[in-house]
């Protein structure tokens, strides 16, 4: 895929220029601000540089329209709030998991496991 670059004073003007030259089937891959330094820093100017690719077909998200598929998905699990008790439980789980990986680690973790 070939990448093209255009520059303009604003992003909107740059996109308009790209659409006029190449059509609507583009995908912007990068946007950056280029600072042109003038004489003795008096005539500084910023331009926007947009890198883009030309797509064979316009990109349009496709919705299958199958409502059963959308409804059958399970709802997201409720977010678990962390209280000091939950943090202590999670910490203990991590310590036990680390201790189960090696005997040397188990010896180091025993004081923490025995506290709880």
Residue range 64-85, pLDDT digits in tens? 555 555 455 555 666 666 666 7
Query: In angstroms, what CA-CA distances link 28 with 47, 62, 70?
Result: 16, 20, 30
Residue 116: its pLDDT value, please? Answer: 55
Give tens-digit pLDDT for 8-63.
999 999 999 999 998 888 889 999 998 877 777 677 788 999 999 988 765 555 55
Contact 49, 34 (CB under 8 A): yes
Q: What is the pLDDT of residue 30?
A: 92
């Amino acid at each position: 895929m070939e990448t093209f670059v255009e520059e303009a004073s604003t992003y909107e003007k740059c996109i308009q220029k790209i659409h006029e030259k190449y059509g609507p089937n583009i995908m912007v891959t990068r946007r950056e601000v280029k600072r042109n330094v003038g004489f003795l820093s008096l005539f500084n100017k910023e331009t926007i540089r947009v890198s883009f690719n030309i797509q064979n077909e316009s990109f349009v998200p496709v919705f299958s329209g199958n409502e059963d598929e959308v409804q059958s998905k399970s709802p997201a699990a409720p977010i678990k709030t962390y209280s000091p008790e939950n943090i202590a439980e999670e910490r203990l789980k991590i310590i036990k998991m680390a201790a189960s990986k090696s005997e040397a680690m188990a010896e180091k973790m025993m004081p923490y496991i025995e506290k709880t």
